Amino acid sequence: MPAARRLVVEADGGSRGNPGPAGYGAVVIDPDTAQTLAEAAEYIGVATNNVAEYRGLIAGLTAVRELFPDTPVRVRVRMDSKLVVEQMSGRWKVKHPGMKPLAEEAARILPASSVTYEWIPRAENKHADRLANEAMDAGTRGRSWDPAASTAGPEAPRTPAPPEPAGPPGDAAAGAAKVRAAMAAARPSGTGPSGPVPSGPAAPQAAKTPQVGWGAAPDLGAPATFVLLRHGETALTPEKRFSGSGGSDPGLSGTGRHQAARAADAFAARGTVQEIVSSPLRRCRETAQAVADRLGLRVVVEEGLRETDFGAWEGLTFGEVRERFGPDLSDWLASPEAAPTGGGESFTEVAERVSATRDRLITRYAGRTVLVVTHVTPIKTLVRLALGAPPESLFRMELSPASVSTVAYYADGNPSVRVLNDTSHLS
């Protein structure tokens, strides 16, 4: 039996919005010669970072299988996604239902005993990262990634490999072509890289690239402006207890009602709010109604604006959760795909729900100023998505009770964050 061929797969994926326009990149390397044997990259439409990273892994492992169909291999996968590395190594459970099929697909490509996984810093994964970004750039222009035009590669020139009398091509473009053909043949008709291709109004318009810059576009008219008001205090707020949509539904405390009244006075003085929408939870409806009564407007309830379901953590402090559910809390802090204990929602699931609600509201209230009364996570998510910031930015924003943040959405698709955590109306 021939000796196993040693190989390295470096893979990455990215999403500009998470979820948003996404793509992956993967490269197969001969560790003995540092020669690039194959590259793969593809735009996959709207997806999350973790989906794109898994797709990059699948592409890299598929490339190995196609390059060496009859040769035993030992593959070292190097990625900067701790989630994928830990899950594929079996140290973390795959809890998110959207990740399980991807992890299972990756595990089927090569024998498990022939693949090991290693986490590396992002700075050491630049080749795959560049491929993923090239794929996203091409996709947003309505094109496919072109290996011949790629500028991705190692930071330093690789040592040339000695000529091989036989075997797979050592040219990355040739390897990429072979990989693309194999993956296209394996993809069922009517599906995209991430599953069924949507049609009709829900289909992503990947070819439309937002124009950027002050002089890049004509006057686009008034944006849809979301004035994001966090609800006032409840009895749980001062104690910093998890209060989502899966536990009790507390109303405003005396302090919270006072905060809502002060916010109503401020909006009445400004005279800019034209519509009011609210989370269905009581603390938001009470806050919204206080403003609506002052402005003479009605409140429209939007289910998608509800707070995260924190599962078994509802009503507990952070310290209590750490004591009772320490490993689950660590997973939750490390990955947006991890959900709170007991069937709660992950940040990725909340982002998908909130972004769908955002899109509906932008269409419904184009050119108007809307007071959106909701919770910490939905507001932070809207701000994060507008900025194109990573999921960990959720932990780096402060949102006080009854604070105001503002995001404007223009007709070309460009959002503008104008205010964050303004509490001047409460002083």
Q: Extract the tokens encoding 196.
A: 């069924």
372 neighbors 364 (Cβ within 8 angstroms): no
231 among known catalytic residues: yes
234 neighbors 285 (Cβ within 8 angstroms): no
43 neighbors 180 (Cβ within 8 angstroms): no
**19: preceding bond cis by omega (within 30 degrees):** yes
Tell me which residue has tokens 């001047």. Answer: 424
Which DSSP string do the residues of 372-384 spell out, in sequence order?
EEE-HHHHHHHHH
Gap between the Cα atoms of 48 and 56, Å rounded: 12
Tell me, rounded to whole angstroms, the distance of Cα 55 from its chain centroid: 14
Gap between the Cα atoms of 44 and 169, Å rounded: 27
DSSP run (H or E) holding 146: none
Backbone dihedral angles phi then psi of residue 89, each to the nearest 5 degrees:
-80, -10
Q: Which of 307, 314, 349, 352 is catalytic?
A: 307
Gap between the Cα atoms of 364 and 356, Å rounded: 13
Which DSSP string do the residues of 201-243 spell out, in sequence order?
GGS--TT-PPP-STTSS----PPEEEEEEE----TTTTTTB--
Q: Which of 231, 275, 345, 349 is catalytic?
A: 231
The residues near 357 (Cβ < 8 Å, ≥ 6 apart) are: 302, 304, 305
345 among known catalytic residues: no
396 carries a ligand binding annotation: no
Q: What is the DSSP letter of 161?
A: P
Q: How are beta strands 115-119 and 191-192 bridged, if at all? A: unpaired
Task: Output the CA torsion sign for 225, 356, 136, 333.
Answer: positive
Residues tagged in the binding site annotation: 283
Residue numbers annotated as active site: 231, 307
Residues tagged in the binding site annotation for substrate: 283
